[in-house]
């Protein structure tokens, strides 16, 4: 199967650029995500970190 894929992609003109573009998109996504997380306000991070521990009526209604 991989031999078929290799032969198929060799016939496409410019196919060698697709893996490079995919890798760049992958790293760009995580770089942007890292910058976003590091630039968040500390109060927002604290609020989001307490969500799993929050025991309000919505979660207790789901259990009943």
Tokens representing residue 1 in the block: 């199967």
How many independent structural domains does the chain possess? 1
Q: How far apart are CA 59 and CA 36, in angstroms?
A: 29
pLDDT band (50, 70, 90) for residue 64: very low
- pTM of this prediction? 0.54
pLDDT tens digits, 19-48: 889 999 999 999 999 999 999 999 998 998
Closest of 12, 64, 61, 10 to residue 2, by C-alpha? 10
What phi and psi values does residue 16 have, to the nearest 5 degrees?
Answer: -70, -15
Full domain range(s) for residue 49: 2-63
Q: How far apart are CA 35 and CA 50, in angstroms?
A: 22
């Amino acid at each position: 199967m991989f031999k078929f894929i290799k032969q198929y992609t060799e016939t496409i003109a410019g196919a060698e650029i697709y893996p490079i573009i995919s890798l760049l998109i992958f790293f760009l996504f995580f770089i942007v995500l890292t910058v976003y997380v590091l630039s968040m306000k500390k109060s927002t991070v604290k609020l989001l970190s307490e969500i799993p521990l929050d025991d309000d009526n919505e979660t207790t209604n789901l259990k009943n």
